[in-house]
């Protein structure tokens, strides 16, 4: 599928409809069958798809409507994985009062987020996102993006001390099976003809923008990083390159999305810092594209991405956490800055992150999200003229 110059794309998530949230709760409580839930989600997805197409987005997604959040949904698709509320994780934390204090400081309510934890040897019991893609493919001629949690994020989140050790003595042991699961999924997606697969690795910024040896993170369940940042980045790079080995050049664009957290609209409590410390990962990751936030000043200087190994860049030009809609001129100005560093054919236009990473905590309304996408598309049209 041929894309226009300066293609526009969503990052993935969209605020869940109230009906979807209600159906999620009812399904979890056993009041709704999976088939009934899927029907509710299907209806919401078709509306979100319509909004994206009306805005003129070139690469669309299903808005992650079937997911409680962008990572915990894997618990339903994998064998021997249990979904834990943040409050339930306290059972496995030695310093409970300290952890609760961290959650309060970070504006993380324990009821609103959940985390997948490995309780035994993991394997796929059903595809992670293949069926989501096949549904969307039936309803659009647009290029489709599907999103998956990255291998480092999954490893950090799913290995819980006191719960995972019998099957996986270390997180590195678990990582081997996570890589296997993601490769199986990627093979199926490529065979099905998906245009774009995005791996989300937001926890990489926690590695470089917090104190060394820190073992607490905004991901809440990712409690296992005790090595220095350089060691963790090397481990993360090894994992993504194992997942994508032999996968590039087969008709599917493979990307990685990195942000500084998307769980609160209060920028003061979110991570901040330029991409410079991540360059060893950004430059050497075996992927086609990096989707990076740059609409927020927390992302630092654009010069940080001068050397990204020839990859294309999904440039964040609208902020999903603000109600103010960026002007077309502001978006064009940001793109013009990037054009001094990267050629036009390497620049895609994205939001910084999703509009609804966590089902219970949308970052914005449908109306604002649609206006931001429309501004992004109009900017792309003017840049192409």
Mean pLDDT of 263-270: 67
**Residue bearing the bigger pLDDT, 360 or 56:** 56
- Which of 86-90, 155-159, 215-219 comes out lowest in average pLDDT? 215-219
And the tokens for 1?
A: 């599928």
The top-scoring range by mean pLDDT among 221-225, 295-299, 343-347, 361-365 is: 343-347
Question: Which pLDDT score, from 0 to 100, does residue 104 have?
Answer: 54
% of the chain exceeding 90 in pLDDT: 62
Q: What is the 3-state secondary structure (H, E, C) of 310-365?
A: CCEEEEEEECCCCCCCCCHHHHHHHHHHHHCCCCHHHEEEEECCCCCCECCECCCC
| Cα gap 381→385, rounded to integer Å | 6
Question: Which pLDDT score, from 0 to 100, does residue 205 have?
Answer: 86
Count of Cβ atoms closer than 10 Å to residue 42 Cβ: 14
Mean pLDDT of 291-313: 89
| Cα gap 230→238, rounded to integer Å | 12
Q: Show Cβ contacts of residue 231 under 8 Å, excluding neighbours closer than 6 positions.
A: none
| Cα gap 278→204, rounded to integer Å | 8
Instruction: Decide: 182 and 151 in contact? Cβ < 8 Å.
Output: yes
pLDDT (tens digit per residue) in 91-148? 666 655 655 555 555 555 555 567 899 999 999 999 999 999 999 999 999 999 999 9
**Residue bearing the bigger pLDDT, 9 or 261:** 9
H or E element that contains 69:
none
- Domains of the chain: which residue ranges? 18-384
And the tokens for 248?
A: 């590039």
Q: What is the CATH number of domain 18-384?
A: 3.20.20.210
pLDDT (tens digit per residue) in 178-198? 999 999 999 999 999 999 999
Question: Which pLDDT score, from 0 to 100, does residue 40 have?
Answer: 95
Write the DSSP symbol of residue 78: B
User: Angle of helix 18-28 relative to helix 34-55, nearest 10 degrees?
Assistant: 160
The full DSSP string for 247-312 is TTTSS-EEEEEE-S--S-S-GGGS----SGGGHHHHHH---SEEEE--SSGGG--GGGGS-STT-E
Question: Which pLDDT score, from 0 to 100, does residue 99 have?
Answer: 58
% of the chain exceeding 70 in pLDDT: 84
| Cα gap 327→36, rounded to integer Å | 41
pLDDT (tens digit per residue) in 196-225? 999 999 888 888 876 543 334 444 444 545
Question: Which pLDDT score, from 0 to 100, does residue 213 have?
Answer: 34
Calculated CA dihedral for residues 62, 119, 82, 255, nearest 10 degrees: -20
Question: Which pLDDT score, from 0 to 100, does residue 216 have?
Answer: 44
Partnered with residue 315 across adjacent β-strands are 292, 349
Instruction: Decide: 139 and 155 in contact? Cβ < 8 Å.
Output: no
Closest CA to 384 of 347, 342, 357: 347
pLDDT (tens digit per residue) in 46-68? 999 999 999 999 999 999 999 98
């Amino acid at each position: 599928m041929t894309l226009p110059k300066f293609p526009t794309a969503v990052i993935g998530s969209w605020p869940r409809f109230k009906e979807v949230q209600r159906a999620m709760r009812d399904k979890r409580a056993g009041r709704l069958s999976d088939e009934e839930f899927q029907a509710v989600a299907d209806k919401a997805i078709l509306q979100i798809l319509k909004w994206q197409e009306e805005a003129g987005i070139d690469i669309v997604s299903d808005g992650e409507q079937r997911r409680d959040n962008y990572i915990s949904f894997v618990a339903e698709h994998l064998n021997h994985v249990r979904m834990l509320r943040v409050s339930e994780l306290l059972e496995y934390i030695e310093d409970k009062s300290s952890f609760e204090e961290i959650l309060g400081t970070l504006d993380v309510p324990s009821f609103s987020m959940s985390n997948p934890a490995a309780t035994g040897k993991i394997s796929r019991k059903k595809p992670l996102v293949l069926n989501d893609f096949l549904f969307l493919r039936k309803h659009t001629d647009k290029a489709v993006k599907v999103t998956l949690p990255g291998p480092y994020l999954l490893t950090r989140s799913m290995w819980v001390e006191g719960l995972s050790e019998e099957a996986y003595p270390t997180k590195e042991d678990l990582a081997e099976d996570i890589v296997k699961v993601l490769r199986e999924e990627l093979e199926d997606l490529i065979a099905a003809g998906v245009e774009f697969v995005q791996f989300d690795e937001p926890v990489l910024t926690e590695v470089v923008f917090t104190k060394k040896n820190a073992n607490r993170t905004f991901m809440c369940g990712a409690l296992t990083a005790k090595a220095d940042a350089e060691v963790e980045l090397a481990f993360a790079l090894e994992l993504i390159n194992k997942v994508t080995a032999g996968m590039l050049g087969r008709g599917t664009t493979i990307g990685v999305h990195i942000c500084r957290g998307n769980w609160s609209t209060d920028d003061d409590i979110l991570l901040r810092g330029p991409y410079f410390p991540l360059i060893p990962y950004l430059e050497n990751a075996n992927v086609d594209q990096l989707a990076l936030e740059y609409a927020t000043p927390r992302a630092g200087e654009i010069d940080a991405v001068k050397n990204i190994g020839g990859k294309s860049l999904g440039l964040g030009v609208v902020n999903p956490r603000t109600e103010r809609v960026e002007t077309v001129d502001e978006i064009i100005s940001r793109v013009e800055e990037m054009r001094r560093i990267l050629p036009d054919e390497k620049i895609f236009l994205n939001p910084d992150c999703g509009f609804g990473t966590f089902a219970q905590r949308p970052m914005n309304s449908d109306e604002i999200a649609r206006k931001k996408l429309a501004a992004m598309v109009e900017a792309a049209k003017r840049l192409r003229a």
